[in-house]
Amino acid sequence: MTALLYNVARFVTWPEGSFADQDAPLVIALQGDGPLQQAIASLSGKQIEGRTIMIQRLASNQLPDRHQPCHILYIPQSPSQTLTNTMEAVAGQPILTVSDMQDFSRKGGILHLEGAQNVSFSLNLDSAQKAGLVLSSKLFRLANLVIKDGQEREGP
């Protein structure tokens, strides 16, 4: 799943002003401390589009600080209310929300990672648009499910 997240992030364009300057890192915030978070943390120091990945660790229910940049937020399996609170807190911010939680894209998350061995993903383009993120059309063709204009389209 880590490789998939890394590759998907390469096809995301954040709006102007999302980074302090051209050398600012791409910040991945990780809620909780499970095996997937530890795997994602291994991306620290790698590069995407000339930006170094920086990992920010958060408690399970902690939200990213609005005054510190966060470009990708991994949300672990959470009770429904915790997910709702997190999604409301980051609404309208240029943050790629990511989870392996069942139906995450249907619940408003942007990127849902699925499967342990044969990893696949779903995208919610409506949520991406609200966040000001542009996802490459290359991702649409690879996704199992794409939500756009409130409609679901099954992928390959």
> What CATH number labels 2-140?
3.40.50
> Apex CA 50: angle with CA 89 and CA 143, to 5°?
60
- Of the pLDDT bands very low, low, confident and very high (cuts 50, 70, 90), residue 156 is low
DSSP line for 88-149: HHHTTSS-EEEE-STTTTTTT-SEEEE-SSS-EEEEEHHHHHHTT-EE-HHHHHH-SEEEET
Buried b (16+ CB within 10 A) or exposed e, 37-66: beebbebeeeebeebebbbbebeeeebbee
Residue 108 zone, left/alpha/beta (φ > 0; ψ -120 to 50; rest): left
Q: Which residue is associated with the tokens 């997937």? A: 36
Decide: 13 and 132 in contact? Cβ < 8 Å.
no
> Cα separations (Å) of 149 from 27, 56, 97, 153?
29, 32, 18, 10
Domain ranges in the chain are: 2-140
Question: Is 139 within 8 Å of 110 (Cβ atoms)?
Answer: no
For the stretch 73-122, pLDDT in tens is 999 988 888 888 999 999 999 999 999 999 999 999 999 998 766 689 99
Please report the pLDDT score of residue 82 as a whole number.
84
CB atoms within 10 A of CB 118: 6
CA dist., res. 29 & res. 140, Å (int):
24
pLDDT per position as a tens digit, 23-75: 999 999 999 888 889 999 999 999 999 999 999 999 887 888 877 789 999 99
